[in-house]
Amino acid sequence: MKKYGAEFFGTFWLVLGGCGSAVLAAAFPDVGIGLLGVSLAFGLTVLTMAFAIGHISGCHLNPAVSLGLWAGGRFPAKELLPYIVAQVLGGIVAGGVLYLIASGKAGFDLSAGFASNGYGSHSPGGYSLLAALITEVVMTMMFLLVILGATDKQAPQGFAPIAIGLCLTLIHLISIPVTNTSVNPARSTGVAVYVGGWAISQLWLFWVAPIIGGMLGAVIYRFIGNEEN
């Protein structure tokens, strides 16, 4: 239960910190943090939690990561479901807290997106479903490749959280204009349930694509990396 609790609060922090920066601070009048700030915020949530709970649960914070680690031979199948449930619940609770904060400002409107992921008319840059699918698959694939490599027994010890956090930052720098960046079904679900409508109808892609990408990343690392883990 300690591991599941760690995943709950870790994912809570990721969604509150990452999506919170997008909703509350990205376009704040005159001094908004912009896409660079939001990208850093997502990376910092993972970096800080990896140091805080990595020794407790492994700090997955992401169903696609848990499934990718399982596919990479690093995680037992029996713990997949409780990990994923804890992650999704953490994301939804964080979305609720963010909603309570954001709705305290006059003029707040969920239809603005609430940091939800989308494609087509709901893509920040108007990118198609196919572009969104490719982006999410490839970005999650590279994320798992970095995670597996950075946590390999032969990798420099103690630096994995930095590499993983910076990788997530880079992923956001690349893909926010395309999908608002998911690479994490729990992150997508955590805000989509409050937006409803189009966000829920497009949510399938932000489960399917990251999971496919995570599996591909695991397969690639098993081919190119150290097998003794």
Tell me the CATH number at 168.
Answer: 1.20.1080.10
pLDDT in the model for residue 226: 64
pLDDT in the model for residue 2: 94
- 118-134 as b/e: b if 16+ CB within 10 A: bbeebbbeebeeebbbe
The residue with tokens 């969604």 is 15
Task: Note down the domain range covering 214.
Answer: 1-225
The shares of helix, strand and coil residues in the chain, as percent rounded to the nearest 5, are: 75, 0, 25
pLDDT in the model for residue 140: 97
At residue 109, what is the residue type? D
pLDDT tops 90 at residue 184: yes
Phi, psi dihedrals of residue 20, rounded to the nearest 5°: -60, -40
Query: Which residues have CB under 8 Å from 97's CB, separation 6+?
Result: 12, 16
pLDDT in the model for residue 164: 96
CA dist 70 and 109 (Å) reads: 39
Name the band, by pLDDT with cuts 50, 70 and 90, for residue 8.
very high
**How many independent structural domains does the chain possess?**
1
Distance of CA 166 to the CA centre of its chain: 13
pLDDT tops 90 at residue 60: yes
pLDDT tops 70 at residue 29: no
Other Cβ atoms within 10 Å of 19 Cβ, number: 27
| pLDDT, mean of residues 57-65 | 95
pLDDT in the model for residue 31: 66
Name the band, by pLDDT with cuts 50, 70 and 90, for residue 32.
confident
| pLDDT, mean of residues 72-77 | 92
| pLDDT, mean of residues 157-178 | 94
